[in-house]
Chain A
Amino acid sequence: MSAQRVINKWFWILGMGVVCALVSIPLYQILMEVLQTPSEGWRLLTEKDPDGLIALLPEEMQVELLPEHTVLYERVKSTCIILCSVILLSTLLGVTLAWMLSVYKLRGKGAITFLLALPLAIPSYVMASCYKQVSAGMELSTSIYVRDSYGAEAMQGYDLWWNYSLAILVLTCSYYPYVFLAARSAFCSLSQEYVESARMLGDSSWRILMRVALPLARPAIMAGVMLVALETLNEYGAMKIIGIETLLTEVFKIRAGTNDLNTAVRVASCIMVMVFALLIGEQLLRGRKKFHASRSGGVVQRNQGLGGISMGFVYLFSALTFIMAFALPVSELLRLASHGIKVTELSTLLDPVWDSFRLALGASGMTLVVALFIAYANRLIPQWWMVAMSKISTLGYAVPGAILGIGIVAWNGAMMNDSAAGELVQWLFYQSTVGLMIAYGIRFLTVSLGSVDAGFKSIRGTLDEASSMLGSSRWKTFLQIHMPLLRPSILAGLLILFVDVMKELPMTLILSPFNTETLAINAYSLFAVQEDYARGSLPALILVLAGISGMAMVRLLLRTSKTIS
């Protein structure tokens, strides 16, 4: 092996190492913090009467007041309730919709699929605000009714139930598209033959779904479900607006109130434990199935015709979902905006738009370069450990944004003690937005990498070799052969990343330097902190519009890219 080849190899390996190290820093720091002795705030969460205050009271009151469970327990419980419900509902909804669209003969499937995926353009905290506005009146009148009919205690229970239901509804509407799209894609690539043989053997549509399609599509659908789970664990804005206390809202509360980093990190690590449990669960469920369910030559093309009533039902169901998850929130936003426009000077929006835009651009650009690096390294050195390192580099996505932010803050604090690193950290995170962009990169690398990697894999290795034989160096090959062929994937990845960064809230809240206020933060603080729904609707609308355009462009790109190669 030539000496040059050896040097080149190390360049890629070291580069991968740097990326993995960057990604691991927040997690490592969290671990370090957790290993230190807990500070006082932790006692407040894990003891029932941390200061002996209840002991001050007369006996009979004590019995009543001593809480049944610690605060931590309650938070874990509420987080679990929300998580499980959202996963269940979004899976049911997503899979049902995907199946109906895949197996039946329907007009305008492409358009319907696009429309049903549109809720992704609406940030969950915006959806929560809209729903809160829309349902406020109903909530009050029904609460009063319950109190008058069943008493004050019942009303308290009703109130709790209402909030949870609203939160679950909002999150389901926000995230079901992940499952929907995954299922649709999986059903689409299901081999025709499987479905037809099942039909020949007498299975109705329903049975085909349960016994054939679902099991075969399961890995892909699981990926979608994992996304829903991770997003739900990362949910802060919507929970705050609706008024549900979860582990994550507790983290923010601790940071805001007492600035007790250690306790905040501890609570954050509880969330991480749940994430790991989910990841391991997914691996175990996926691990055994190794067959390939897909063959080229799409799916259920010869679709089943539907009787008029059933067809009507399918359209109705889709329409209802669309209305609930998209049309309703957006129309409420528009209504609020009509008030908001009167009281806002539009020039005040320029700053957040600019901040959001340049952050998103910078972050996506940086992340894209890293993604290209990793995908290329994998192409050059297809060893198992390279693949392993690539997997590690995508860990960032599994960590809720806020936790990533907290980890980075903890690391910043540790670095401050060392003057040289301290200066760098200061510049990165307090004086410029570079640190924030790197954080976005760590979090969203998967998104970019998935696109780019798929793109690379679709370029046969022989093309690289042909180019080499024709005298081109690796770099020339990359520029003249890979890049043009990768263009659709790169653009798609860039767009998705762009929209994701613009929508991001919890991590941005924690890490953004002073003079930076993204549209997301602007909308959130107007909605949740100042309760100025009219004003807040304006940045929210801009975000939604950006999301819709992004998605529309991606759809266009993926369509046109099918003509080449």
Chain B
Amino acid sequence: MSNLLSLTNITKSYGEQQILSSVSLELGRGDIHAVVGESGCGKTTLLRIVAGLADGATGRVYLDGNDVTHLPPEKRRIGLVFQDYALFPHLTVAKNVTYGMRGKTKSEKEHTLERLLAIMNLPESAMRYPHELSGGQQQRVALARALALDPALLLLDEPFSNLDPIRRQKLRDVLRDLADGQETTSLIVTHDIGDAFKVADYITILKDGAVVQTDTPANIVVNPANEYVERLVDM
């Protein structure tokens, strides 16, 4: 099976509320896949389930053919860039980025650090602290940190929210490079369908916890599944 990530019938409720209803998804290697929806539609919860940070859901999660549904997050080797970046304030950029690199030699760590900082365009930043960096720089550090693990799957939670148009473009370029160059699969969660259109290979539209349509951007425009999708596209 060439699909990297496979979600089958993910369902989660919280008390009376149905957060996710039978959501199924497939991600191929090297895909950039965006999950789009309004706030409260359950997309962040879906992301967290993939990451292993949320429980109480039924359904299965397969990563590279393995059933990881009950595997704790620290064992899943998935990179996650949080919406608030979650950089460790007491550690330098270097220490933040190499944090997840267990069992690697010092030179390996230095090498990876250099490489990633170059890719992220963060020269001379290794010894700075997070609070000394701008928002955009912090995000790039967070991305570098996630990538340092060499993960097969990269998750991004609303990565475009706090960025101006230029930075958004830059981020889209980085993700594209990763996907094409290293076959890094990315799952992005966003409320902005425009961003999704510009970067994703596939888009899943989520409404009230259920999948409305999963398709390439082109197909969504041409064949919207229903009125809701039409309206979304028009915006």
Touch A–B, Cβ below 8 Å: yes
Total contacts A-B at CB 8 Å? 73
Residue of A nearest to B155 (CB): A469
- Chain B residues closer than 8 Å to A467, beta-carbon distance: 88, 99
A473, CB-defined interface residue at 8 Å: yes
Give the complex CA separation of A394 and B56 in angstroms.
32
Once A5-B55, A460-B84, A462-B84 are accepted as A-B contacts, the answer to whether A468 and B73 lie under 8 Å apart by CB is yes
**Residue of B74, B77, B90 touching A564 (CB-CB under 8 A):** B90
Give the complex CA separation of A4 and B55 in angstroms.
13
- On chain A, the number of residues with a Cβ less than 8 Å from chain B's Cβ atoms is 22
A472, CB-defined interface residue at 8 Å: yes
Beyond A2-B72, A465-B73, list 7 extra A-B contacts (CB 8 Å). A463-B88, A469-B51, A469-B76, A469-B80, A481-B88, A485-B89, A565-B131
Q: Please report which residues of chain A, range 418-455, place their CB below 8 angstroms from some CB of chain B when the two chains form the complex.
A: none
Which residues in A have some Cβ–Cβ distance to B below 8 Å?
1-2, 4-5, 460, 462-463, 465-473, 480-481, 484-485, 564-565
- Chain A residues closer than 8 Å to B82, beta-carbon distance: 462, 465-466
B118, CB-defined interface residue at 8 Å: no
- Chain B residues closer than 8 Å to A564, beta-carbon distance: 89-90
Residue of B nearest to A465 (CB): B53
Give the complex CA separation of A463 and B100 in angstroms.
13
Give the complex CA separation of A470 and B100 in angstroms.
5
- Chain B residues closer than 8 Å to A470, beta-carbon distance: 74, 99-100, 145-146, 149
Task: Output the residue of A5, A468, A470, A471 with the most chain B CB within 10 A.
Answer: A470
Q: Is the interface of B mostly helix, strand, loop or mixed?
A: loop
Task: Output the residue of A2, A468, A473, A565 with the most chain B CB within 10 A.
Answer: A468
- Chain B residues closer than 8 Å to A5, beta-carbon distance: 55, 72
B106, CB-defined interface residue at 8 Å: no
Residue of B nearest to A563 (CB): B131
- Chain A residues closer than 8 Å to B83, beta-carbon distance: 462
Give the complex CA separation of A289 and B206 in angstroms.
40
B231, CB-defined interface residue at 8 Å: no
Contacts A/B (CB < 8 Å), 14 sampled: A2-B55, A4-B72, A460-B86, A462-B86, A465-B51, A468-B74, A469-B74, A469-B76, A469-B79, A469-B100, A471-B75, A471-B77, A473-B74, A484-B90
Residue of A nearest to B103 (CB): A471
Give the complex CA separation of A398 and B131 in angstroms.
41
Chain B 168-199, CB within 8 Å of chain A: the 1/0 string? 00000000000000000000000000000000
Which residues in B have some Cβ–Cβ distance to A below 8 Å?
51-53, 55-56, 70-80, 82-84, 86-90, 99-100, 102, 131, 145-146, 149
A24 to chain B, nearest CB (A): 32
- Chain A residues closer than 8 Å to B131, beta-carbon distance: 565
Give the complex CA separation of A463 and B84 in angstroms.
10
B61 to chain A, nearest CB (A): 13
Question: Contact: A1 with B72, CB < 8 Å?
Answer: no
- Chain B residues closer than 8 Å to A485, beta-carbon distance: 89-90
A452 to chain B, nearest CB (A): 17
Residue of B nearest to A472 (CB): B74
**Residue of B71, B86, B90, B100 touching A471 (CB-CB under 8 A):** B100
Question: Contact: B90 with A565, CB < 8 Å?
Answer: yes
Give the complex CA separation of A484 and B129 in angstroms.
15
A379 to chain B, nearest CB (A): 14
- Chain A residues closer than 8 Å to B88, beta-carbon distance: 463, 466-467, 481
Question: Contact: B90 with A465, CB < 8 Å?
Answer: no
Task: Output the residue of B55, B56, B80 with the most chain A CB within 10 A.
Answer: B80
- Chain B residues closer than 8 Å to A4, beta-carbon distance: 72
Give the complex CA separation of A472 and B86 in angstroms.
15
Question: Contact: B90 with A463, CB < 8 Å?
Answer: no
Residue of A nearest to B55 (CB): A1
Give the complex CA separation of A4 and B131 in angstroms.
36
Once A1-B56, A465-B53, A484-B90 are accepted as A-B contacts, the answer to whether A471 and B74 lie under 8 Å apart by CB is yes
B13 to chain A, nearest CB (A): 15
